[in-house]
Amino acid sequence: MSHVSSKGLYYTIFISLIILTGVTVAIARVDLGAWNTPIALAVAAVKATLVILFFMGVRNNTPLTKVVAASGFLWLIILFGITMGDYLTRSWLGIPGR
Amino acid sequence: MNHAVNEPRSYLDAPYGVASWLLTKDHKRIALLYLISITVFFLIGALFAAGIRAELMTPEGDLFTADMYNKLFTLHGVVMVFFFLIPSIPATLGNFLVPIMCGAKDLAFPKINLLSWYLYLIGATLTLGAVFMGGVDTGWTFYTPYSSMASNTNVTLAAVGVFIAGFSSILTGFNFVVTIHRMRAPGLTWFRMPLFLWAMYATSLVMILGTPVVAITLLMVGAEAALGFGIFDPRVGGDPVLFQHLFWFYSHPAVYIMILPGMGVISELVAAVSRKQIFGYSFVAYSSLAIAIIGFLVWGHHMFVSSQSIYAGLVFSIITMIVAVPSAVKTFNWTATLYRGSITWESPTYWVIGFIGLFLVGGLTGLFLGAMGLDVHLHDTYFVVAHFHYIMVGGGVMAFLGGVHFWWPKMTGRTYPETLGKISAVLVFVGFNLTFLPQFVVGYLGMPRRYHAYPEEFQILNVVSTGGASVLGIGYLLIIGYLVASMFKPRNATANPWGATGLEWDIPSPPTTFNFEIDPVVTEDAYNYAGRAQKTGDN
């Protein structure tokens, strides 16, 4: 769109992404037990959000573009959410395999 | 209609030559390129089906070995689903009609449109390569762990072909969404759009949101096989049922990619053949979106007998019942449109009536399979095979052929023999029912799918089924015969042979390259047959 962000903002986002990549590498070397995957995914999600909002220009775009970008994530939540709904309830019956 | 000498040339004539076709950016020419390609793949897929039905004439597995039979049904499924049904209506009728119905000169991204056809061809060629290198035997669903660990056939090559064809589908959907949002003619508000556009819009959303998931899933199968990642293989921490989740997250909505465009076609045809405004326009329009969205929440009904949690199964079962509602809304509204309409018994009418009958049976038997308890009995039997053929062939292909018969004069400028059009519709309807009705019975009685041999007591019904498939085949060949023959006759189609409403009927048959000489302005609702009859004094 017509909005142009300053170079400084792009550099800030770029440096933030580099730092977050460093965080990803650093936490991979620490055993956080059950939190290993959630924390790695959280860092990745923050990085993806920065790229989408700033580098892809969604932040200053039309409402329709925002809806389109958000719907991608909504669908991801549906995919992960319902799939986990299966995995997390498998043991409820107490019958192996059911 | 006879064109004056100084009128602009039609898209078929200007410019002419092989390169002008292979490098064309005209949506109408790309539609024809797709039409030729999918017809070739339809014939290849039909050949595999003929092999299956020939084997099942007798209870013994005497014509093909079990391995060969596995390959036949796999390739039938892969070719028909990915290379015929999914692109069938969107890439042919959709490509041809979406810009014209919008009042636009072309799609939003003509070069991307051409790219989508080439991606389709590359994907299809790779998958055909897998056929020639010995075939694939996993079933069209490529279920792990068989596909990733056990099968020694050409799974990777076939999967790469499907993967690439998926991008063609995404690009088509993306092009349609942008065109419908940005390129509608002045006055063409959302609720004045033909219902075909609503259906194509809903289909495009499914293509864009679902196809990447199956592409990534197939990529993960490849990554697991090549690099040993533990995604689906339990030996390295994976879960084979995860594949089924990811696969059906796309492939159940893919059923709606196959049927939603058909519903759009039927909405156009129903209004045209009954000379009436469609009953409950906004309900039919919204039901397309409802099907597209709810269709994404039901995938687990394919997995009731896997190790999926019974609680997840319950939720999927309930949502499956809900997704039937918008389909029923459409069916009731089509029927209500036909009721007291001025029905003309032209060939498209036969396809419409055939579609409604077959889709109804397909839809209702889907409810049987969506009910968790009953599905345990019916799962992986011929009942399932009959059900999805009623939806995809009885629904999807009937609608596609109805659409082709309806818009053929517009696309080619030529008419076909009406009597043959009607005979072929009847042949296909009768042949189809003879083929697949018996399969409901043998399935309910317990005949499993995907075996080349079966108990003797099922033979009579299987022979009826094979006989029916022959009638069906004759019906299809007849259509190809008279449509191809029509191309060698002089152009004789008028601009509006059916007396239908819609922007496509206001321009010459065949249209000129940029469709409209003067940019159209839409001043009335879709299907304003009453207004048109008043204006012309014609009924």
Average pLDDT over residues A38-65: 92
Mean pLDDT of A26-33: 90
DSSP B79: I
B370: distance to nearest CA of chain A, Å?
A: 17
Give the gap in angstroms from C-alpha B298 to the nearest C-alpha of chain A: 10
Q: Look at residue A94 and tell me whether its pLDDT is greater than 80.
A: no
Q: Could you tell me which of B429, B448, B456, B303 has the C-alpha nearest to residue B383?
A: B448
B-chain CB neighbours of A62 within 8 Å are: none
* Residue appearing with tokens 């920065």: A50
Confidence class of residue B423 from pLDDT cuts 50, 70 and 90? Answer: very high
Say whether pLDDT at B34 is over 90. yes
For chain B, domains (ranges, CATH) are: 26-531 (1.20.210.10)
> What confidence score (pLDDT) does residue B4 get?
46
Q: Which region among A1-5, B16-20, B176-180 has the lowest average model confidence (pLDDT)? A: A1-5
CA B233/CA B160 separation, integer angstroms? 20
Partner residue opposite A79 with nearest CB, options B181, B249, B309: B249
- At A2 the pLDDT is 55
**Distance, CA of B139 to CA of B517 (rounded, Å):** 50
**Which one of A82, A84, A93, A98 makes the best mutation probe of the B interface by having the most chain B beta carbons within 10 Å?**
A82
pLDDT band at residue B129, thresholds of 50, 70 and 90? very high
Residue B229 has pLDDT above 90, yes or no: no
Crossing angle of helices B398-412 and B240-274, rounded to 10°: 50
* Structure token digits, residue A90: 């498998």
User: Mind listing the pLDDT tens digit for each residue in A68-92?
Assistant: 889 888 999 999 999 999 999 988 8
Q: Is A14 on the interface with B (CB under 8 A)?
A: no
- Name the residue among A82, A87, A93 with its Cβ closest to that of B297: A82
Q: How far off is chain B from A4, nearest CA to CA, in Å?
A: 23
Query: Before B145, cis peptide (omega within 30)?
Result: yes
Of residues B103 and B144, which shows the higher confidence score?
A: B103
Question: Which pLDDT score is estimated for B3?
Answer: 46
pLDDT at B420 over 90: yes
Asked, as a colleague might, if the bond just before B15 is cis with ω within 30 of 0, I would say yes
- Check whether B58 has a pLDDT greater than 90: yes
- Chain centroid, CA B93 distance in Å: 11
Q: Are the beta carbons of B296 and A90 separated by less than 8 Å? A: no
| Whole-number pLDDT of residue B59 | 97
What backbone phi and psi angles, to 5 degrees, belong to B10? Answer: -75, 165
Where in chain A are the domains?
1-61, 62-98
Cα Rg of chain B (Å, integer): 23
> Span B285-296, mean pLDDT?
95
Contacts for B124 with CB less than 8 Å, ≥ 6 apart: B37, B41, B83, B161, B165
Selection from B69, B84, B172 nearest residue B128 by Cα: B84
Is there a contact between B493 and B413 (Cβ–Cβ < 8 Å)?
Answer: yes
Q: Do residues B401 and B351 lie in contact, with contact meaning Cβ atoms separated by under 8 Å?
A: yes
Residue of B311, B316, B319 to mutate for A, most A C-beta atoms under 10 A: B311
- Calpha distance B11→B417 (Å, rounded): 24
The verdict on a CB contact (< 8 Å) between B309 and A85 is yes
- In this model, does residue B388 exceed pLDDT 70? yes
The DSSP 8-state label assigned to residue B84 in this structure reads I
Contact B309/A83, CB-based, under 8 Å? no
What local confidence, expressed as pLDDT, does residue B536 receive? 66
Q: For B418-431, what is the mean pLDDT?
A: 97
Question: How far apart, in whole angstroms, are the C-alpha atoms of residue B73 and residue B87?
Answer: 20
The reported pLDDT for the residue numbered B187 is: 96
Q: For residue range B169-211, what is the model confidence (pLDDT) as tens digits?
A: 999 999 999 999 999 999 999 999 999 999 999 999 999 999 9
Q: Which residues, 6 or more positions from A46, have their beta carbon under 8 angstroms from its beta carbon? A: A20
ipTM of the complex: 0.85
- DSSP lists the bridge partners of residue B448 as B381
**In which element (H, E) is residue B197 found?**
helix B195-227
Q: What mean pLDDT comes out for the span B353-372?
A: 96
Cross-chain CB nearest to A86 (options B246, B297, B309):
B309
Cα–Cα distance measured from residue B12 to residue B413, given in angstroms and rounded to the nearest whole number: 9
Note the pLDDT of residue B539.
44
Residue type, B84: F
Q: Which residues of B touch A98 (CB under 8 A)?
A: 307, 309-310
Residue B179 class from Cβ within 10 Å (0-12 exposed, 13-18 middle, 19+ buried)? Answer: buried
The Cα–Cα gap between B539 and B525 comes to 18
| Backbone φ, ψ for residue B354 (5° rounding) | -60, -45
Among B209, B297, B312, beta carbon nearest to A89: B312
Spatial distance between the Cα atoms of B76 and B85, rounded to a whole number of angstroms: 12
Least confident residue range of A3-12, B71-80, B292-301, B305-314: A3-12
- How do residues B455-503 score in pLDDT, each as one tens digit? 999 999 999 999 999 999 999 999 999 999 999 999 999 999 999 999 9
**Across residues B90-115, what is the average pLDDT?**
97
Confidence at residue B537, expressed as pLDDT on a 0 to 100 scale: 57
Q: Find all residues with CB under 8 Å of B131, minimum gap 6, and list them.
A: B75
Q: Is A85 on the interface with B (CB under 8 A)?
A: yes
Closest chain B residue to A89, measured at CA: B309
Tell me what pLDDT residue B9 has. 85
Inform me whether the C-beta atom of residue A86 falls under 8 Å from chain B C-beta atoms. Answer: yes
A95 reaches B (C-beta below 8 A): no
Closest CA to B175 of B260, B262, B236, B117: B117
- Minimum Cα–Cα distance from B297: chain A residue: A78
